């Protein structure tokens, strides 16, 4: 199966699958080696790793460059968190063409206003016009050069406080416009409104969720609730931040690395991740003996 067909199956099948966040080639390789079937290239974590805010401060071409390294270092599919599509329908169709060229398997586009604001900041974020957003989705599908490329429509109605009825209205319109799956998002600490949405959503619509805030809900609840995929959306970056803070503080305090060596990866682990042994063998094959 191609990468894109694997992602399509993950997002649209009736058994629950999982995507793990990555924000660069290193974290993408670790996600793959951990056994995940697909990668979520998070807008928040890529932006943060670049030292900018999750408000479209990183250009889409800068994100694309990172994605290329991620795709080159892995063999599993990547779903890009494409924010609002970086503009109107014209920006979206160029984005999709470039993603297909770089072996990225899908894009998720949210129905908010460009430039976007992270979903967990503030209240009553304005939503995009439904018809205009449907046009973006149609443009995305018309522009894909990979038959199995997946377009996910992210519904932000619950985030904005517009309620389940509005979320269902938007999800149905987006699916009819050509979206392959719907990502329904919530920032509540419980999954109540997500589960209500899932129960009322037409069964033929594949649903994806990001339980960052309602993480206490047992996974089996989602498995029984018409959910096709769960995205663990930011945990690699958050783990990096907490671990780097801890290690930096300890080295600063001790003025030595003695106490941290047993807590961090070895150099051999780094070398094995990206197959340094292959480079040594190739040097023997291709470089002259001088």
- Residues classed as catalytic: 54
Cα gap 52→58, rounded to integer Å: 7
Residue 200: cis peptide before it, omega within 30 degrees of 0: no
> How far is the C-alpha of 4 from the C-alpha of 148, rounded, in Å?
5
Alpha carbon distance 95, 248 (integer Å) = 38
Asked if residue 97 lies in contact with residue 82, where contact means CB atoms within 8 angstroms, the answer is no
What spatial distance separates the first Cα and last Cα of the chain, rounded to whole Å? 45
Our measurement of the distance from residue 115's CA atom to the centroid of its chain's CA atoms, rounded to an integer in Å, reads 18
Contact 69, 45 (CB under 8 A): no
């Amino acid at each position: 199966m191609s990468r894109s067909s694997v992602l399509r199956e993950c997002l649209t099948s009736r058994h629950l699958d999982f995507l793990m966040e990555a924000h660069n080639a290193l974290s993408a390789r670790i996600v793959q080696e951990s056994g995940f079937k697909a990668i979520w290239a998070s807008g928040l974590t890529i932006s943060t790793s670049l030292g900018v805010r999750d408000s479209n401060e990183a250009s889409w071409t800068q994100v694309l460059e990172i994605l290329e390294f991620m795709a080159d270092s892995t063999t599993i599919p990547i779903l890009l968190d494409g924010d609002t599509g970086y503009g109107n329908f014209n920006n979206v169709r160029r984005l999709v063409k470039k993603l297909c060229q770089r072996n990225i398997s899908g894009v998720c586009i949210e129905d908010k206003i460009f430039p976007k604001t992270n979903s967990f900041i503030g209240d009553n974020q304005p939503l995009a016009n439904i018809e205009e957003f449907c046009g973006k989705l149609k443009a995305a599908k018309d522009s894909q050069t990979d038959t199995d490329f997946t377009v996910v429509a992210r519904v932000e109605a619950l985030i904005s406080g517009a309620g389940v009825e509005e979320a269902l209205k938007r999800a149905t319109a987006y699916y009819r416009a050509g979206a392959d799956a719907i990502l329904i998002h919530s920032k509540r600490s419980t999954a109540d409104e997500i589960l209500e949405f899932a129960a009322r959503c037409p069964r033929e619509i594949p649903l994806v969720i990001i339980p960052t805030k309602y993480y206490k809900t047992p996974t089996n609840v989602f498995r029984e609730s018409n959910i096709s995929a769960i995205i663990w959306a930011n945990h690699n970056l958050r783990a990096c931040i907490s671990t780097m803070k801890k290690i930096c503080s300890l080295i600063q305090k001790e003025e030595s690395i003695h106490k941290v060596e047993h807590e961090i990866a070895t150099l051999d682990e780094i070398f094995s991740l990206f197959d340094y042994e292959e480079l040594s063998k190739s040097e023997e094959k291709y470089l002259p003996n001088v």
